[in-house]
Homo-oligomer: A and B are copies of this chain.
Amino acid sequence: MTETPLFRRVALIGIGLIGSSLARAIRRGGLAGHIAGHARSERTREAAVALGLVDSIHADPVAAVAGADLIVLCAPVGAYADLGAAIGPHLEAGAILSDVGSVKQAVIRDLGPHVPDGVHFVPGHPVAGTEHSGPEAGFAELFDGRWCILTPPPGTDAGVVERLAEFWRRCGSHVEVMEPAHHDAVLAITSHLPHLIAYTIVGTATDLEDATEKEVIKFSAGGFRDFTRIAASDPVMWRDVFLNNREAVLEMLGRFTEDLTALQRAIRWGEGDKLEELFVRTRAVRRGIIEAKQA
């Protein structure tokens, strides 16, 4: 790349699956003059250096953000309040503070108060991931063709939002701007509830007395294995998602439980037409996802 990078120095606070994928996508696109990384654990810092993900590595997040014009929090959202308190006073005027968290109202609640005047706060969420964790699990193509949602607070400079949107587009993403509350509702159904259900059924299966865990594993190809993949996602990240999108998750869970109870009743009473009607309808949704190239 001979053109000027979009950002002088990008600070990645957290270098797990998402942070390390972002580092790789930034390298691929030549989007930053310098990538500074912070990770709490020494093992992760060593891996980030060994993998060539960063130009500088910092045990102290304050050192990572020094001189950065883009700061992206890539840590579990439960850590944001403390991180914000630590780095807030050291952010430079004109810098953009963003993140990759799966919830957005709680991020604004926890991080917003620590954003100094003159710093642009534009929360983000790349809707992409795998069940693997850690800096070794990342790859540059993770965001290609996926959506990244930005939830700028009212009054955010439109040029700043566009600059961050361009950054994500060059990371391979499509970009959508959304209200934080709407983001949290949409993701509660498309991501948070599926994970909660997957975690639950894998737990239920392994608690059985009459089918051994070995049998459950052996005969998992009938559908269960797809749930185990989702239920292998990072435990701390997902704990924080559920704790920080409580209202929307409980609302969607309530709807799901109602629908499941109705199906339970249809099975008990042998109402095959009700079952078939639903199963035909859900099949069409899959076709929509394939057509939208999100399969």
Contact = CB atoms under 8 A, between A and B. Distances in A.
Q: Copy number in this complex?
A: 2
Contact of A224 (B190, B222, B223, B228): B190
Contact of A235 (B185, B279, B288): B279
Interface string A175-190: 0100000100111011
Given A199-B282, A286-B231, A243 B272 contact: yes
Given A194-B227, A219-B147, A242 B286 contact: no
Given A205-B190, A231-B282, A260-B197, A218 B292 contact: yes
Contacts of A238: 275, 279
Nearest to A279: B235
Interface string A273-295: 00110111111011111001011
A250 interface: yes
29 contacts: A147-B219, A186-B211, A190-B215, A190-B223, A190-B224, A192-B223, A199-B278, A200-B256, A200-B263, A200-B278, A202-B285, A203-B278, A206-B282, A207-B255, A207-B259, A213-B285, A216-B285, A217-B285, A226-B230, A228-B282, A228-B289, A231-B279, A233-B283, A235-B279, A235-B283, A236-B276, A239-B279, A243-B275, A253-B260
